[in-house]
Amino acid sequence: MTQKNRLQSGGRVDRSTPLTFSYNGKQYTGYKGDTVASALLANGVDIIGRSFKYSRPRGIVAAGPEEPNAVLQVGATEATQVPNVRATQQELFNGLVCESTNGWPNADFDVMSYIGKAGGSMLTPGFYYKTFMYPQSMWETYEKFIRKAAGLGRSPLENDPDFYDHLNQHADVMIVGAGPAGLAAALSAGRSGARVILADEQSEFGGSLLNSRELIEGRPATEWVASVVAELSELDNVLLLPRSTVNGYHDHNFLTIHQRLTDHVADKAPAGQARQRMHRVRAKWVVLAAGAHERPLVFGNNDVPGCMVASAVSTYINRYGVAPGQDLVVMTTNDFAYQTALDWADSGRNVVAIVDTRPNPNGDRVAAAEKRGLRVIKGAAVIEVQGSKRVSGVSIASIDAKGDKVVGSVERLSCDTVASSGGWSPVVHLSCHTGSRPEWRDDIIGFVPGKTVQKQLTAGGINGSYSLKACLEEGARQGAEAATNAGFEVAAAAVPAVAEVKEGAAMALFHIPHTKPTSRAPKQFVDFQNDVTAAGIELATREGFESIEHVKRYTAMGFGTDQGKLGNINGMAIAAKSTNRTIPETGTTVFRPNYTPITFGAIAGRHCGERFDPKRYSSMHKWHLENGCTFEDVGQWKRPWYFPKAGESMQDALNRECKATRESVGILDASTLGKIDIQGKDAREFLGRVYTNAWAKLAVGKCRYGLMCGEDGMVFDDGVTSALGENHFIMTTTTGGAARVLEWLELYHQTEWPELEVYFNTVTDQWSTMTISGPNARNLLAELTDDIDLSNDNFKFMDWKEGSVAGVPARVFRISFTGELSYEINVQANYGLYVWEKLFEKGAKYDLTPYGTETMHILRAEKGFIIAGQDTDGSVHPYDLGMGWCVSNKKPFSYIGKRGMAREDCVKPNRKQLVGLKTKDPSVVLPEGAQAVKDPNQPIPMTMLGHVTSSYWSANLNRSIAMGFVRGGLERMGESVFYPLADGRVVEAEICSPIFLDPKGERQNV
Amino acid sequence: MSEVVAPEKEAAVKVAVMNQLPGQEPRAESPLHHADLETVAKKGPKQGGVYLQELKLLGHLVLRGSVDNAEFMSGAEKVLGVALPSALQSAEAGDLSVRWISPDEWLVIVPGAKAFKLERELRDAMGGHFAIVNVSGGQTVLTLSGPNAEEVLKKTTPYDVHPSNFPVGKVITSTFSKTQAVIRRTGDESFELVIRRSFADYAWLWLQDACAEYGLVVRG
Amino acid sequence: MHYIYCPHCEEYREEEEFHAAGEAHIARPLDPEACTDAEWADFLYFRTNSRGLHHELWVHATGCRKFFNMTRDTVTYEIKEVYKVGEQPQVTADQ
C-alpha cells in the first residue's frame, strides 16, 4: 500500500529510510522517525479498533499519551508480546509487528458490532452493575468475555527474553518534561552545577516545539532545541532521559521514571542491553513542566474515524509529514485550532471551514486564517458527524452565546476530517499523585496543580501558560529557583526572542448542543475507551450519582488504560452542568500513579528468577547438594529437609533417618538457628526480663532452655542460652525468628531499659553448627577431640565445653532436641564444611546418618518438644503448652509476659491446651490442622475443641503420633476426641502426654 | 589455642574469648569458596567496566562501646593506632581498618591471623562497659572497582553514592539489593562491601547480573 | 516512599532502610502487677491512630539498628521532626 497521506516534504521523518511493519497481518511502510500511529495514518488506515461497549469503529484521535483508541498489542513472537501500547508513542522500527487489541475478531469486521447495534439502547451506563454483576457466580464467565471483547490486550504465554533494570538516582533538580518550559528550566538549573535530571516521554526533546512552526530568535524552534540539548549534553551534572515517562510522583519528592531503552530499536533488546529501566529518583526539588493536552469537543458521532484533536492534526502534518485526510472542518472554542487549519492549508489540502463557537473571535491567528481566505463560520458548531467507517460530512448550526442550544438552521458540509478543540487541560496528573487536589481556573478553563507539601515548582502549560514566551520565561525562572532552593544559587537563563501572538478569549464550552435532547441525539462520546457518552453521564446524575467519584464508577469514565486523559474534564463539565454546579464544585477524580501503563518487566527489574528473593546457605550446603538432599525453605534459608537414598520415598527416608539416630547416631546441620552474642554486666538481668524462667544462677559453663513471650503473655520464640562467662552469653533463637528476636532485644534495651549495660550482636553467620545425636554420639565425638573430657561426670547434659574438634577450635554444647545423647558442635563457619566432612570420615563405622528438618520434627515430637511457630500461634502462653516448669514467678522483675499471662482470659479454666494424641488406629496419621470435636455426630456447626499442630508417623514407635490443642486437654488425659476430616472419615484419638518416648529423659543423660 | 580472659581486677570468668583459628592443616573456606573465584578469574575476561574481588578470610571484630566511655575510646585508639572514627567515617592504620557502623559500634578488619591477638590487646586496654565480638567467619569483604562500579551500586543500593555525597573514606550500612551491606568508598572508582556469609551467594549472583552489561572482571 | 533523617547517622536515608515500630511514647508500666486488666489492655492494644500529627517509633533497620522517634503528619506524610528515644517532641497537635 502506498503512503497516500504522506506529504512530499516537511516533518522530522527520514524519507530516505523506509521501514516496513505489519499491522493486523498486513505489511505497511513508514519512515524512520514515524510512530506507528503516524505511519498508519500515512497509509490511510482509518480504523484502529472497535469500541468497548458498542463496538463502533474507531480511529486515531490524538498524537500522544492521551490517545484512547489506538491501543495495540505489539510483538513479533509470543515471548515478546506487549499489550496496551499506544500507537502514538510506539516508534516505528523495521519489522515491527502489531495488531489491534480492540476488535474481535478483527477491527474492520466485528461480530460485536451486531450486539452493539441490536442492543445499543440497552447498554446504558452502569451496565457492569446492572447486567453483569448478577448472579455473582457468573462473574468469572462474564469477565473472560468482557476482557476479550473489550480489548484490554493479553500477556505473553512465554517468558520474556529481555531483561529490565532499576537505577537509584539522586538529583538536586528533577525536571519533568522537555518542552520549551522544561528545556529552559534545565538550562538555568544545569548551569548552576546542580545535579539535574531532565526526562521526557518522547523520543526527542522539544515537546510541542517538535510539532509547531514557531520561530525562536527568528529561526525554526527545533534549532533552538538542538542548541539547548547540545549544551546540556556537555554538562556532567545533567542527566538527559528521552523516551522516559515520569510515571509516579511519590512522597518526599520520590519519582519513578519508566525509560524505554530499546523499544524503538527492535522487537527484542540487542544482546546485553536492558530493554527498559526504572529510575527511582529522590529529588531535592522538582520542576513539573508536563505541558497540557488539548480537549476534543463532545458532539454527535464524534467518534467516527476522521474526528481528531486539532493539535494532533498539526502534529501529524508538522512533525511526521502526514496529512490524515483531504477535506478538513475545524471546530474550536479558541484561537489555537486556527493554526491547525493554517497547517492543513499549507500542506496543500482543502480547509472546508473553521467553525468557531464564539460569536466574535478576534485573535492574531483568526486574522491570519481570514487573511488566508479560509471560511470562518462564527457562533456555530459541528453538531453531528456523518459517516460510519470514516467521516463523510458534518452538520453545522448556529448556537447561542452560552453554547446551550442550537439556534439556527442546520447546514451540511462534506469533509473527511474533523479537528476539534475545546481548549487545553494542563497535565496535572503527577502533581496529584501525592494527594494534592488541582484547582480550577476560569481564566484558562482548566485545572492547574493545587497546593502541595512537596518541594515542587511548575512551569509552562501545566500552569495554563500556553504562549511560547510564557513557557520559556517560566521555565527559566523556575529552573533557577529550584536550583537555588537546592543550594545552587543561580540566575535564570536568558530567554530567547520569540514573536508574541495575541490570543482572543476562549469560550468555556465542552458539550456541543444538538437539535435533539442529549438522550435522543446521536451518541456524543466523552470517554472513547470506555464508550461513555454525554447522555450516559446525564443519566448517571439523574439516577442520583452526583459525586464525580460515583459518576466515574457508575459510567466507567476514566477507567481505561488512558485513565481519561482526553475525556475526564469534558465528563466533569457535563456532570457539573447537569447537577447545576460549577466545575470546581463538582471537582475531579483522583489521579494515581502510574501516569501511563508500565510493563511488569520494568517493575520487576532484575529481581526475578534466582534473584527474586535471597536464598541463604550454610557452610555445608555444598555437601548437602552432593548427597542428594531435598531442601525446605525456612525463612530465606535453604535447610536440608531429608536425604533420600536411591529408590526411597520420603517416608522411607524419614523412617531410616529416625531409626538410625535413635539406634546409632544422626547429624543435623543446625547452622541456621539464630545466634546472638550478649555481653555486659547486666546481661543476666536482661535475660531474666525477656525469658519467662530464671537466669540469675545459671553457672558459667551451663546451658538453659528459655521461652520468650510478648507483653500479652503469648509465646513467640524459644531456644537455649548458654553462659559463656559471667557477663557473656550466647542465645539461640528459631531459624525464622532470629532477626525479630534481635530487634526485640534492641527495642527493650533502647527504649525501656537503656540503663542496663549489655550489648547484643548477631553471630548467626559466624558459627557453623552441627548436631550429632544418638547413642553413639559420644563415641563419634571422641574420635575427633583429644582435649575435651567427654565423660558424663565431666561433661553433663546442659553443659558446654570449649576444645577442638577435628583440630578446629570449637564450642560444644551438650543439649538435645531429640532426647538422645547429643552434642552441638560450633566452629567458625570458615571451617564448617571441613569439620562436617571429618565427622563423616570417622562416622562411617557408626553409620552416621544425615537428617534434615523433617526427621528433626519427628524426633522432637516423639519427645513432646514444641516448635515455636508450629505448636504456637501467638495465642498460647507457657501454661497452655504444659510448660509451667519454664516459668518463674519468683523473679523480682516483672518479666515480659508475666502480667499478660495473668489476664482474666489467660487464667480462666478450660483454655485450649497442648496435649499428645494417639489415634485409636495406630496406622492413621492425623492431618495437621484437623479440628477436634467431642461428638462427631453433632450437627454442623460442630463445637470445635482445638486442632492438631504436629502429626507424624513414628518409625521408632511403629505408630502415628500427634500433638494438638484440646480445650481443657491437660485435665482430660485418657479421654477420646474425634477429628472429622474433609474426606468424610472421622478419626478417634486418645488424649495423652505429649512425651511418647523415654518419659524420664534417660537417653539424653547417659 | 584458646583461653579465657579473666581481668586481674575481677576474679570470675567474665567473657569467653576464643581463638577460633586452628593450625595449618584444617581447610578454611570463605563464604564465596564454592563460587571458585580463582578459576573464574583465570578463565574469565581481563578487561571490563567492573572489577570484583573477594578479600577472604580476614579478621573481623565488632567493637561496641560508648563514645562517653573514655577507657573504651582511648583503649581503642592506643591499640588500633587510630581513633575510632565518627559517624559514617572510616580510618586506616597499616593493615588495619576501622568503620563506623552505629553510634556505639565499629567494625575493625585485620589480616585473619591477627584477630585473636588484637581482641586480647583491645580487651586489656579497655575498661568500663564494652563488647568485642569476633565475626570473622560470619562475613566477607568484596571489592568493587572500575569505571562502572558506581553505576552497579546505583542499581543495588538506594543510597546516594555520588562522590559529592559519598566521598572516599565514607562508610554506610544500607540496603544491598534485597539484603544489606556495609559499603565504603575506598577510591574514586573503588568500593568495599562487607557482606554477611549466608547472603554471599545471593550477592554474588546479583553482582554478576548487575555488572554484566559493563563487563565483569573477577580477580582471584 | 519517605525520605527519613536518621538522628543517629545524621543524614537522610531512603525509607527502605527503616521500618515503623508503632506509636511512640507507649511506656511500659513500671509496676505491671499493679495494673488492672483494663490498664494492661490499654498499654497492650490501644493506640491514638491520629489523623494528622502523630508521634511514631521507627528503627533504622538496615542501617545503624537504632530506634528513634518521629513526628509525622499522617495526612500529608510530612515528617515534622525526628528525635531520639528519651526525648520529647517539639511539634505537637495542641500547638
Cβ-based neighbour number of residue B66 at 10 Å = 14
For residue A105, what pLDDT is reported? Answer: 43
Instruction: Report DSSP state, residue C65.
Output: -
Nearest CA in chain A to C61: A743
With a CB cutoff of 8 Å and minimum separation 6, the contacts of A564 are A527, A557, A558, A571, A589
| Amino acid letter for position B61 | L
| Amino acid letter for position A38 | S
With a CB cutoff of 8 Å and minimum separation 6, the contacts of B152 are B50, B144, B207, B210, B211, B214
pLDDT tier for residue B10 given thresholds of 50, 70 and 90: very low
pLDDT tier for residue A558 given thresholds of 50, 70 and 90: confident
For residue A133, what pLDDT is reported? Answer: 47
Contact between B155 and A169 using a beta-carbon 8 Å cutoff: no
The length of chain B, given as a count of residues:
220
Nearest to A829 among B18, B138, B202 (CB): B138
pLDDT tier for residue B62 given thresholds of 50, 70 and 90: very high
Average pLDDT over residues B111-123: 97
Query: Are both B91 and B186 inside the same structural domain?
Result: no
For residue B23, what pLDDT is reported? Answer: 83
How far apart are the CA of B35 and the nearest CA of chain C, in angstroms?
Answer: 26
Average pLDDT over residues C4-10: 98
Residue B116 lies in a domain: yes
pLDDT at A583 over 90: yes
Nearest to A750 among C77, C78, C85 (CB): C85
pLDDT tier for residue A126 given thresholds of 50, 70 and 90: low
Phi/psi of residue B201, nearest 5 degrees: -65, -40
For residue A530, what pLDDT is reported? Answer: 86
For residue A563, what pLDDT is reported? Answer: 82
Query: Are both B111 and B201 inside the same structural domain?
Result: no
- Kindly write down the DSSP assignment for every residue of A53-70, as one continuous string: TT--EE----SSTT-SS-
B-chain residues near A750 (CB < 8 A): none
CATH number of the domain that B185 lies in? 3.30.1360.120
Residue B27 lies in a domain: no
Residue B3 lies in a domain: no
Query: Are both B172 and B192 inside the same structural domain?
Result: yes
Contact between C64 and B174 using a beta-carbon 8 Å cutoff: no
* Partner C, chain B 153-192, Cβ-Cβ below 8 Å: 158-159, 172-175, 180
C-chain residues near B172 (CB < 8 A): 9, 63
Residue B21 lies in a domain: no
Nearest CA in chain C to A451: C76
Nearest to A251 among C35, C66, C77 (CB): C77
Residue B5 lies in a domain: no
Contact between B129 and A811 using a beta-carbon 8 Å cutoff: no
Nearest to B102 among C8, C16, C17 (CB): C8
The number of angstroms, rounded, from the C-alpha of A14 to the middle of its chain's C-alpha atoms is 39
C-chain residues near A743 (CB < 8 A): 59, 61, 65
Residue B10 lies in a domain: no
For residue A111, what pLDDT is reported? Answer: 47
Q: How many domains does chain B have?
A: 2
Average pLDDT over residues A247-269: 97
Q: Considering chain B, what is the average pLDDT of its residues?
A: 94
Summarize pLDDT for A142-187 with one digit per residue, the tens: 555 555 545 578 889 999 999 999 999 999 999 999 999 999 999 9
Dist. CA A117–CA A96, nearest whole Å = 34
User: What is the share, in percent, of chain A residues with pLDDT greater than 90?
Assistant: 90
Q: Label the pairing between strands A380-386 and A393-399.
A: antiparallel
Query: Are both B45 and B151 inside the same structural domain?
Result: yes
Beta-bridge partner residues of A49: A58
pLDDT at A2 over 90: no
Summarize pLDDT for A660-710 with one digit per residue, the tens: 999 999 999 999 999 999 999 999 999 999 999 999 999 999 999 999 999
Of residues B95 and A53, which shows the higher confidence score? B95
Summarize pLDDT for A939-981 with one digit per residue, the tens: 989 999 999 999 999 999 999 999 999 999 999 999 999 999 9
A-chain residues near C77 (CB < 8 A): 251-252, 434-435, 453
Asked whether the ipTM of the predicted complex exceeds the cut of 0.85, the reply is yes
The C-alpha cell at B173 is: 550500612
pLDDT tier for residue A123 given thresholds of 50, 70 and 90: low
Dist. CA A655–CA A958, nearest whole Å = 10
**Range with lowest mean pLDDT among A176-180, A905-909, A960-964, B183-187:** A905-909
For residue A556, what pLDDT is reported? Answer: 86
Helix A738-747 and helix A683-690: axis angle, to 10°?
110
CB B57 within 8 A of CB B114: no
Query: Are both B52 and B64 inside the same structural domain?
Result: no
**Range with lowest mean pLDDT among A19-33, A270-284, A546-560, A835-849:** A546-560
Query: Are both B127 and B151 inside the same structural domain?
Result: no
Query: Are both B192 and B127 inside the same structural domain?
Result: no
- Kindly write down the DSSP assignment for every residue of A82-98, as one continuous string: EEEEETTT-B--TTEEE
Of residues A55 and B40, which shows the higher confidence score? B40
Summarize pLDDT for C46-60 with one digit per residue, the tens: 999 999 999 999 999
How far apart are the CA of A588 and the nearest CA of chain C, in angstroms?
Answer: 19
pLDDT at A114 over 90: no
Residue B109 lies in a domain: yes
CATH number of the domain that B68 lies in? 3.30.70.1520
* Partner B, chain A 798-817, Cβ-Cβ below 8 Å: 802, 804, 806-809, 811
A-chain residues near B157 (CB < 8 A): 168
In Å, what is the CA distance from A101 to each residue of A23, A165, A486, A601, B202?
11, 27, 46, 20, 40
For residue A283, what pLDDT is reported? Answer: 98
CB A995 within 8 A of CB A863: yes
**Range with lowest mean pLDDT among A619-633, B5-19, C56-70:** B5-19
The C-alpha cell at A45 is: 488506515
Residue B153 lies in a domain: yes
Summarize pLDDT for A464-518 with one digit per residue, the tens: 999 999 999 999 999 999 999 999 999 999 999 999 999 999 999 999 999 999 9
Domain residues for the domain of B103 are 58-137
Single residue among B115, B137, B159 that ends a domain in this structure:
B137
A-chain residues near B126 (CB < 8 A): none
Summarize pLDDT for B136-173 with one digit per residue, the tens: 999 999 999 999 999 999 999 999 999 999 999 999 99
Summarize pLDDT for B67-89 with one digit per residue, the tens: 999 999 999 999 999 999 999 99
Single residue among B97, B119, B137 that ends a domain in this structure:
B137
Query: Are both B157 and B202 inside the same structural domain?
Result: yes
Burial class (CB in 10 A: 0-12, 13-18, 19+), A225: buried
Summarize pLDDT for A830-887 with one digit per residue, the tens: 999 999 999 999 999 999 999 999 999 999 999 999 999 999 999 999 999 999 999 9
Query: Are both B53 and B148 inside the same structural domain?
Result: yes
C94 interfacial to chain A (CB closer than 8 Å): no
Dist. CA A18–CA A14, nearest whole Å = 8
pLDDT at A206 over 80: yes
pLDDT at A122 over 90: no
The C-alpha cell at C66 is: 537504632
Cβ-based neighbour number of residue A134 at 10 Å = 10
B137 interfacial to chain A (CB closer than 8 Å): yes
Query: Are both B130 and B147 inside the same structural domain?
Result: no
Degrees to nearest 5, angle at CA A641 with A635 and A642: 175
CB A180 within 8 A of CB A292: no
- Of A936, A934, A955, which Cα lies nearest the Cα of A997? A955
Single residue among B90, B109, B137 that ends a domain in this structure:
B137
Nearest to A254 among C3, C32, C44 (CB): C3
Task: Give the 3-state secondary structure of residue A906.
Answer: helix
The C-alpha cell at A185 is: 528550566
* Partner B, chain C 45-84, Cβ-Cβ below 8 Å: 62-66
Query: Are both B48 and B145 inside the same structural domain?
Result: yes
Contact between C8 and B103 using a beta-carbon 8 Å cutoff: yes
For residue A125, what pLDDT is reported? Answer: 57
Summarize pLDDT for A745-778 with one digit per residue, the tens: 999 999 999 999 999 999 999 999 999 999 999 9
| Amino acid letter for position B35 | A
Query: Are both B46 and B145 inside the same structural domain?
Result: yes
pLDDT at A458 over 90: yes
Nearest to A168 among B34, B131, B157 (CB): B157
* Partner B, chain C 4-23, Cβ-Cβ below 8 Å: 8-11, 13-14, 16-17
* Partner C, chain B 92-131, Cβ-Cβ below 8 Å: 101-103, 105
Contact between B173 and C11 using a beta-carbon 8 Å cutoff: no
Q: Considering chain A, what is the average pLDDT of its residues?
A: 94
